[in-house]
């Protein structure tokens, strides 16, 4: 291999632990789009991802059970499908979240933008180490503040206290972080705006495609010099 590209510094560190060297980082790219409209309506959380245990949806549902006391009009939009869908629906019902949670199933990108432009905050409570965190980058490009577990590459996508919050350790810390933004729409707007500027600088699809083109040109030039 002439070059290795990692999607995050977290992945690069794991590769270096396996004795790989000279690793470039090019983050996942998100197409630039218009920012979401100003926050209105009831406080709303968005979750998008495959419905599997490692994505932490159970943690989020239990956090919402804690939040509903302070935010009785709270809404949670869940986009995605997977083997844990049935158990997630059962847990939501058992926790009394029937009026709070909407399971949208698998959505197209257009449908997802329509649903999540209403979110006050995006929740990504992954309990495994995400290599990057494309959902977090998409939320940032939308201009939405994000609360993440901070596992793996998520800690790089979301800058704690600036573009969102990190909350690891279970439902209670997650609920506390979500409450910080749901209870302060101005802070949610401020972090969302900062997240969008950060996404335009670091996660723009056009920018990152150009970085790959530049890398290929470097490789081609190096090959020409060797011939």
Q: What is the pLDDT of residues 61-96, one digit of tens each?
A: 999 999 999 999 999 999 999 999 999 999 999 999
Q: Per-residue pLDDT tens for 23-68?
A: 999 999 999 999 999 999 999 999 999 999 999 999 999 999 999 9
* Superfamily of domain 44-202, CATH level 4: Glycogen Phosphorylase B; (3.40.50.2000)
Whether 22 shows a pLDDT value over 90: the answer reads no
Contacts of 34 (CB under 8 A, 6+ apart): none
Whether 227 shows a pLDDT value over 80: the answer reads no
Strand partners, 130: 152
Q: How far is CA 219 from CA 9, 21, 209, 210, 226, in A?
A: 22, 16, 15, 14, 11
Phi-psi region of 164 (alpha: psi -120 to 50; beta: other; left: phi over 0): left
Whether 172 shows a pLDDT value over 80: the answer reads yes
> In the prediction, which pLDDT does 84 show?
97
pLDDT exceeding 70 applies to what percent of the chain?
Answer: 100
Domain ranges of the chain: 4-29+213-226, 44-202
pTM of the model: 0.94
For residues 8-34, give the mean pLDDT. Answer: 94
DSSP state letter for 164:
E
Q: What is the largest CA-CA distance in the chain?
A: 70
> In the prediction, which pLDDT does 226 show?
84
């Amino acid at each position: 291999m002439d070059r290795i590209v990692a999607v995050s510094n977290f992945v690069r560190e794991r590769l270096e632990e396996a004795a790989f060297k000279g690793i470039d980082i090019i983050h996942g790219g998100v197409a630039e789009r218009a920012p979401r409209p100003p926050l209105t309506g009831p406080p709303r959380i968005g979750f998008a991802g495959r419905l599997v245990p490692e994505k932490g949806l159970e943690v989020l549902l239990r956090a919402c059970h804690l939040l509903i006391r302070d935010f009785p009009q709270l809404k949670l939009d869940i986009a995605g499908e997977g083997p844990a869908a049935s158990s997630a629906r059962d847990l939501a019902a058992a926790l009394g979240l029937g009026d709070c949670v909407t399971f949208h199933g698998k959505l197209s990108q257009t449908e997802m933008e329509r649903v999540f432009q209403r979110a006050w905050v995006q929740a990504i409570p992954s309990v495994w180490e995400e290599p990057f965190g494309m959902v977090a980058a998409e939320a940032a490009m939308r201009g939405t503040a994000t609360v993440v577990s901070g596992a793996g590459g998520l800690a790089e996508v979301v800058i704690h206290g600036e573009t969102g919050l990190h909350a690891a350790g279970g439902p209670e810390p997650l609920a506390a972080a979500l409450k910080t933004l749901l209870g302060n729409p101005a802070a949610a707007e401020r972090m969302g705006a900062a997240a969008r500027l950060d996404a335009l600088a670091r996660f723009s699809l056009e920018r990152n495609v150009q970085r790959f083109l530049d890398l290929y040109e470097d490789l081609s030039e190096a090959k020409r010099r060797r011939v």
